[in-house]
Amino acid sequence: MLMEEQNLIEETINLKYPLPLMIGFFLLNIIFLPIMISTIFFIMHVSVQNWVFPLSVVLSGGITYFMFDRDNKRTIISVLCGILCLAFALLICAKTYDFSWDGNTYHKNMIGLLKYGWNPLYETFYDYAKEFPFMEVATETWHDAYPKATEIWAATVYTVFENIEIGKAFNLLGMISLIFICWAFLFEMKVLKYWQSFICALVFSINVVSLIQIFTYYNDGFLWEMILLFLISLLYLTFCESGRCKKIVYYFIFLSINIGFNVKFSSVIFFGILGFTFFFFWLIEKWHREEWKKAIFLVSEKFFILASSVISGFALIGSTSYVVNIIRHKNPFYTMIGEDSTEMITANLSAVYKPLSNISRFICSLFSKTGNWPSTIEWKLPFTFYKAEVLQSQIFDIRIGGWGIFFSAIFLISVAYILFYFLKNRKEEKRLFYITLILTLVTVICIIAIPGLVWARYFVGLFYIPAIAIMLLYKNINRDTAHISQHSIILGILCTLLLLNNIPPITRDFDIMKETKPIKTKLETLKYVSELGEIHMDYTYPTHNFSGRFFNIIDEKISNFKYGQVDTNNADLLFHPQYEFPYSYISYSVSTPNHLSDYISSIDRSKYLILMAVKDDASNALTEDIIKDMNALGLNFYTQDAYRNAYAAIIGNKPIFEQKNDSAIAYDTEFEGVEISIQSAGYTEGDNASILLNGKEYAKNQRGLNIVVYNKELHHVTDSVYVDLYENDIVRR
């Protein structure tokens, strides 16, 4: 084995570093540096600044240049590719909305306050939140206590782009960076062919949990990307101890621990178990070759890297949680352990799972139908799935069977093949066998000891098992030509099942993208009406308050609203995602100009197009003042003697079209690429008012004058009202 390692070093010493490794390195620094810089400035009493993120991008490029032998050409290529990946992640996250529970109950709360000046080292969340009335419902203790790495990163991006949704790009960036890094390391260690390494990297980095969380502020998938980075770094030091990437791997260990420790408290368990396991493996392995003192000396460098990373993760990057918790509560893991701990796992499980042991829960979850609150344990045969599971698989934090509808079959095939591989190759690959055996024992111990692993989002590492199986399949295909067809069939089945397993969350991601436009339109409509009148907002269901969504409203420059009780019977609702629940809605009522003349005159006609159509009648309640005000717009408006006449008009800076008739009116035109169709009919001629834009109906089709307001700059409808001029000139929605 030592000879093979030496040959590997000699073969690679004169090669250039892999571009994927440089790209992944650059992207990870873009995640790490804003967190580190902002935390240092917190210590100096400076809140999140808008120059931190762009500075971090520049520094990431510089660090990449120096860490990879000052290779100008490859650094430029990797930085450009990394910036493209960054731009893609930021853009797609800016254009989607986080509808999740955790995202809107506390992640966005923390991000919003950090952006607006909260310094978590010196101010409590609740003291600072007093400046935001809608935050009065945020009373959970974890706002102050929880690790804040992803929230700090999101806040640095938020301050630049003024869009709270863009900050959730850390999930996509983490996934992309680990794809590149896994790809590079698998090929660097001469494990697989180049394209095989890429496929295995995809399987290691992309899974059901990461996919379903990609457009949310949930950070479980991201945490396990950091654990994956830590694991592959430890494996590299095990199998390529003197490899050329050693200094980069040391940096990855430092980076993964510092970020991972500050994503979730539970990360300390997984990093600690992996770190201790590999350290003692190295120590014992050296001891068998050398005397004890020399063995300790040989692993001292690795110990120093691990120890310094842990200290930094707790004392520096973790100062906003671990240090603060020690100062305030004498407990670094406040809310996770101790007198004031919050029992989240058992409390959020179905009653049938609560009395079970940890390992029983895990087994039941793994081989059950995918669901959230089953009244019984719903076993299912591997390779089968039920229609109801597909929709359940699209919930952000599914509790039971959350690894996917086909994962039980994937798990069994993977475990069976890994066992087969080592039964056949145990003697030839002793080192790999021992590492696999140790990691298997560690996994079993974790399942027995840690209560949360019944819940897929807390145990994303289970997806590494099929990734390892696929890696071993490729190894056998490359060298066992006599049985290549058998290995290929198993590989095909496993890859097909993994692809099918990922379809429900991918479908949900596309649904989220589709839901973006109507949400955005509604927010822009709210902005429009906020310029006309006063808005009152409140939570539709006071027991479930998604205060983070108010930052979406503020981002639209809607700040002149009053927070307080709203009559939901006479109010509209914000946020209507396809699979979301009604408790996440925000109710609002708007007091705009009450009278037709005031309403029309308040509209900026250089920015908006006004479309009108009469249904039934719009003459009975007309007054000379109304007619005069409407004629001042350049119209030859409906008159008092036009009882039940049809009327239609389009007004921009000046009237574009106007017609009134005692018979029905139908008018079709095109305006800047938008197809417009207007119909108007009095009571005896069809009793109808229709205003279609690109085939979609926007008119209220109520008696009187129906008005639709179209934003010429943003190319969508911002308001639709009607005025029952048969009775009065009051504007109604």
Phi/psi at 479 (5° precision): -120, -20
- The per-residue pLDDT for range 341-399, each reduced to its tens digit, is 777 777 778 889 889 999 999 999 999 999 888 889 999 999 998 888 988 888 888 88
Q: Rounded to an integer, what distance in angstroms lies between the CA atom of residue 279 and that of residue 253?
A: 13
Helix and strand counts by DSSP (H, E) for the chain = 26, 14
- The per-residue pLDDT for range 109-164, each reduced to its tens digit, is 999 999 999 999 999 999 999 989 888 877 777 889 999 999 999 999 999 999 99
Bridge partners of 692?
677, 697
- The per-residue pLDDT for range 609-645, each reduced to its tens digit, is 999 999 998 888 888 888 888 888 888 887 777 888 8
Q: Give the burial string for 649-675 (b: 16+ CB within 10 Å, else e).
A: bbbeeeeeebebeeebbebeeebeeee
- Segment (H or E) for 623: none
Q: Rounded to an integer, what distance in angstroms lies between the CA atom of residue 281 and that of residue 299?
A: 10
- Residue 265 DSSP class: T
- Segment (H or E) for 317: none
pLDDT band, very low/low/confident/very high, at 13 (cuts 50, 70, 90): very low
Q: Rounded to an integer, what distance in angstroms lies between the CA atom of residue 89 and that of residue 316?
A: 28
What's the pLDDT score for residue 543?
62
Residue of 224, 226, 279 whose CA lies nearest to 254: 226
What's the pLDDT score for residue 4?
47
- Strand ranges (DSSP E) for 368-527? none
pLDDT band, very low/low/confident/very high, at 498 (cuts 50, 70, 90): very high
What's the whole-model pTM score?
0.88
Average confidence score pLDDT of the chain:
89
* Residue 587 predicted with pLDDT over 80: no
Query: What angle in degrees, to the nearest 10, is found between the helix axes of 108-115 and 149-161?
Result: 50
What's the pLDDT score for residue 452?
85
Phi/psi at 32 (5° precision): -75, -45
* Residue 239 predicted with pLDDT over 70: yes
Q: Rounded to an integer, what distance in angstroms lies between the CA atom of residue 121 and that of residue 355?
A: 40
Q: What is the mean pLDDT of residues 420-427?
A: 87
What's the pLDDT score for residue 52?
97
What's the pLDDT score for residue 3?
44
Q: What is the mean pLDDT of residues 80-90?
A: 97
* Residue 37 predicted with pLDDT over 80: yes
- Give the residue ranges of DSSP H helices in 290-330: 292-315, 322-329
- The per-residue pLDDT for range 275-329, each reduced to its tens digit, is 999 999 998 888 877 777 777 877 899 999 999 999 999 999 999 999 999 999 9
Q: Rounded to an integer, what distance in angstroms lies between the CA atom of residue 611 and that of residue 656?
A: 10
More confident residue, 575 or 555: 555
Q: Rounded to an integer, what distance in angstroms lies between the CA atom of residue 330 and that of residue 332?
A: 7
